[in-house]
Amino acid sequence: MSVYVTDTHPLIWYALDIKNKLSKKALKIFAQAEQAEALIYVPDIVLWEISFLVKDGEVIINLPFQQWCHALLRSRGFDRVSLSPEIMHTAMSMRFTEDPFDAAITATAYAMDLPLLTKDALITEANLVETIW
């Protein structure tokens, strides 16, 4: 089974059924996860970032945020990753961005030695982790 970490934007696009924004490869991976044929780790920091986007009205989900998270994580193809002290330490040393969310998401993929589903050019160009898009 293939295993990945997701950045915030691909998860939002998939969960909100804005699938035309996903690459064919990313869409296939999310579909496989939905069928429990792949596993996508969702960093806690991704969920936290989504909570800010929901609060600010930039993202509209069809359930209260907590219920939305539980529904996502009930799927066998998705699991969450805690923001551990090791990940925080790694994120602190990453100099490619001033965005703490991007640093922590990249640090999560780095610590787990897994590819990161992202379209983010800064993350991709930093070449700190394998990225898939």
Closest to 48 in 3D by CA, of 77, 11, 98: 11
d(CA 111, CA 87): 6
Place 9 in a pLDDT band, splitting at 50, 70 and 90.
Answer: very high
- Using one digit for the tens of pLDDT, what is the confidence trace for 88-100? 999 999 999 999 9
**Inter-residue contact 65 to 54 (CB < 8 Å):** yes
pTM score above 0.95: no
* pLDDT surpasses 90 at 1: no
Q: Domains of the chain by range and CATH?
A: 2-123 (3.40.50.1010)
Give the mean model confidence (pLDDT) for residues 34-63.
95
Give the mean model confidence (pLDDT) for residues 45-54.
96
Q: What share of the chain has pLDDT > 90, as a percent?
A: 93
